[in-house]
Chains A and B, each alone.
Chain A
Amino acid sequence: MHSFGYRANALFTFSVTALAFICAIASLSDNFSDQNPSAEIQILNINRFKKQSYENDEVSLTLDITADLQSLFTWNTKQVFAFVAAEYETPKNSLNQVSLWDAIIPDKEHAKFRIQTSNKYRFIDQGHNLRGKEFNLTLHWHVMPKTGKMFADKIVMPGYSLPDAYK
Chain B
Amino acid sequence: MGWIGETIDSIKSIQIRQLLTQAISLGMIVTSALIIWKALMCVTGSESPVVVVLSGSMEPGFKRGDILFLHMSKDPIRAGEIVVFNVDGRDIPIVHRVIKVHERENTGDVDVLTKGDNNYGDDRLLYAEGQQWLHRHHIMGRAVGFLPYVGWVTIIMTEKPIIKYILIGALGLLVITSKD
Chain A residues near B (Cβ < 8 Å) = 23, 27, 78-79, 81, 83, 85, 91-99, 102, 104, 106, 121, 126, 140, 142, 144-150, 152, 154
Given contacts A147-B148, A150-B144, is CB(A126)–CB(B111) below 8 Å? yes
With a cutoff of 8 Å between Cβ atoms, the chain A residues found around residue B60 in the complex are 78-79, 104, 106
Query: Between A and B, how many residue pairs show CB distances below 8 Å?
Result: 81
Q: Contact: B61 with A148, CB < 8 Å?
A: no
Interface centre among A27, A94, A121, A126 (most CB of B within 10 A): A94
- CB-defined interface of B103-128 with A at 8 Å, one 1/0 digit per residue? 11100000100000100001000000
With a CB–CB cut-off of 8 A, which chain A residues contact B99? Answer: 83, 98-99, 102, 121
A66, B13: Cα distance in complex, Å: 77
The answer on a CB contact under 8 Å between A94 and B104 is: yes
Partner of A97, one of B62, B79, B145: B79
A95 & B101 in contact (Cβ 8 Å cutoff) = yes
The docked-state distance in angstroms from the alpha carbon of A147 to that of B111 is 31
User: Which of chain A's residues have a CB closer than 8 A to the CB of B64?
Assistant: none
CB within 8 Å for A23 and B146 given contacts A106-B60, A142-B80 = no
- Residue of B with least CB distance to A100: B99
Q: For chain B, which range describes its interface: under 10, 10 to 19, 20 to 34, or 35 or more residues?
A: 20 to 34
Give which listed residue, B61, B78, B104, B145, contacts A81 with CB less than 8 A. B61
Beta-carbon nearest neighbor of B142 in chain A: A150
CB of B102 within 8 Å of the partner chain: yes
**Closest beta carbon of chain B to A20's beta carbon, Å:** 8
Report B's interface with A, CB cutoff 8 A: 60-62, 76, 78-82, 97, 99-105, 111, 117, 122, 143-148
Asked if residues B61 and A85 are in contact (CB atoms below 8 Å), the reply is no
Instruction: Knowing A150-B144, A150-B145 are in contact, say whether A98-B100 is a contact too (CB < 8 A).
Output: yes
How far is A94 from B60 in the complex, measured between Cα atoms in Å? 34
Docked CA distance A140–B82 (Å): 13
**Distance of A36 Cα from B102 Cα, bound (Å):** 30
- Known: A99-B99, A140-B79. Is A81-B146 also a contact (CB below 8 A)? no
How far is B62's CA from A145's CA once the two chains are assembled, in angstroms? Answer: 10
B146 and A148 form a contact (CB under 8 A): yes
Query: Are B145 and A149 closer than 8 Å at their CB atoms?
Result: yes
User: Could you tell me the distance in whole angstroms from the C-beta of B179 to the nearest C-beta in chain A?
Assistant: 11
A79 contacts across to B, CB distance below 8 A: 60-61
Whether A96 lies near B101 (C-beta < 8 A) is yes
- Of all chain A residues, the one with the shortest Cβ separation from B178 is A5
Expressed in whole angstroms, the minimum distance between the Cβ of A69 and any Cβ of chain B is 14
Given contact pairs A81-B117, A95-B76, a sample of 16 additional A-B residue pairs in the complex whose CB atoms are under 8 Å apart: A79-B60, A81-B61, A93-B102, A93-B103, A94-B104, A96-B101, A96-B103, A97-B78, A99-B80, A99-B100, A102-B99, A104-B60, A106-B60, A126-B102, A142-B97, A146-B148
B146 lies within 8 A of A147 (CB): yes
